[in-house]
Amino acid sequence: MLVLGAAGVFAYSRLSEPPVDPGPTRPAAADTVAVRRTDLVTSVTISGTLGFGPPTTLTGRKPGTLTWLPAIGTVVDRGDKLYAVDAQPVPLLFGDTPLYRRLELGMPPGPDVRELIANLRTLGYRNPGRGDAFTEGTQNAVKRWQKTSGLAETGALDAGDAVVLPGKVRIDSVTAQPGAPADAALFGYTSVERSVSAVLDPQQIDVAVVTPGSKVTLVLPDGTETAGTVGGVTTQAASGEDQPTQVANIAIDDQNTVPADSGPVQVRVVTETRSGVLAVPVTALLALGEGGYALQVVSGGKTRLLGVRTGLFAGELVEVSGDGLADGMRVVRAS
């Protein structure tokens, strides 16, 4: 009993002793980051739709009765029949100058003749002439092309006998019917290349930054990222009390990246760029009571406040400038 009593007294005395004071704890080391010279970019992401761009209405110029029209979705290439008038095909030629006069032997030279010769040469007809003069060689080549195309072999070409467009087209919609007058609106056509249309909401993006030729990043329906180029911005009429809307048509630079399926596209537009500026994480900024901002600079184990001016905010980084600020300087970042 004496032994047990002594053990109990010892245990009680040990449990009742105050905990040992570990002494003052050292503060955790400050989380620092270096001031870096870099490029900052801000962007806005808007929604777009994958398609073939806005359609253009084709109006026939050859008088007569419309006897054939292509189906929606048809792709028409150089030399192909675009439509038919009085059972005569009206083929497609490539170029920038539409036919505006009769092309025949003895006519003055011009850019329309040059385009005709270029088309005949590309279609495989030999010796169509050179330059912008309509020669006997041109006349003979036109006759051979007319025979192949099912046209009357006149060796001449009237303004409505063919349609000149910049390249291949895709039929988007048909507005006329066979039996109607051929010199009227016939159908709508688009480019054969896929593109993206995006509505520009002024509450979401500054429309002024979306200009023809500007580059954007596209996130396609399958998640692929690819580059795009703004081709133009058009204004669509509003209905009712709605305001007119502006739509950007964006060409996809690499058509091989376009998926077969259509769907929504995310369009990332760069709104501002700052090159070669000093930047720190936003969390490194200290708001001063008197206004403005400072950085807590760490040097030689000591810290000091350095007043800075802020510039562009881009994600987690902010542009900073000020006297004494240098690339590589270590500053405290809030956790």
* 124 part of a folded domain: no
Domain count, the chain: 2
Give the domain CATH number at 262. 2.40.30.170
End-to-end CA distance of the chain: 60
CA dist 288 and 294 (Å) reads 7
- What is the DSSP secondary structure assignment for residue 301, as one 8-state letter? T
Residue 141: strand, helix, or coil: helix
Is the same domain home to 238 and 303?
Answer: no
pLDDT 10s digit of each residue in the chain, 335 long? Answer: 333 343 443 434 444 555 555 555 555 567 899 999 999 999 999 999 999 988 999 999 999 999 999 999 999 999 999 999 999 999 999 999 999 999 999 999 999 999 999 999 999 999 999 999 999 999 999 999 999 999 999 999 999 999 999 999 999 999 999 999 999 999 999 999 999 999 999 888 988 899 999 999 999 988 899 999 999 898 877 666 677 889 999 999 999 999 877 789 999 999 999 999 999 999 999 999 999 999 999 998 899 999 999 999 999 999 999 999 999 999 999 86
**What are phi and psi for residue 193, nearest 5 degrees?**
-90, 145
Q: Is residue 120 in a domain? A: no
Residues near 49 by beta carbon (within 8 Å), at least 6 away in sequence? 196, 197, 198, 262, 264, 265
Record the pTM.
Answer: 0.71
CATH classification of the domain holding 305: 2.40.420.20
Q: Are residues 260 and 281 in the same domain?
A: no
Do both 252 and 290 map to the same domain?
no
The pair phi, psi for residue 113, each rounded to 5°, is -65, -40
322: containing domain: 32-40+275-332
Asked if 335 contacts 33 with a C-beta cutoff of 8 angstroms, the reply is no
The neighbour count for residue 114, using CB atoms within 10 Å, is 18
Q: How far apart are CA 271 and CA 277, in angstroms?
A: 17
Question: Do the domain assignments include residue 254?
Answer: yes
Q: Could you tell me if residue 63 is inside a domain?
A: no
Q: Do 263 and 201 lie in a common domain?
A: yes
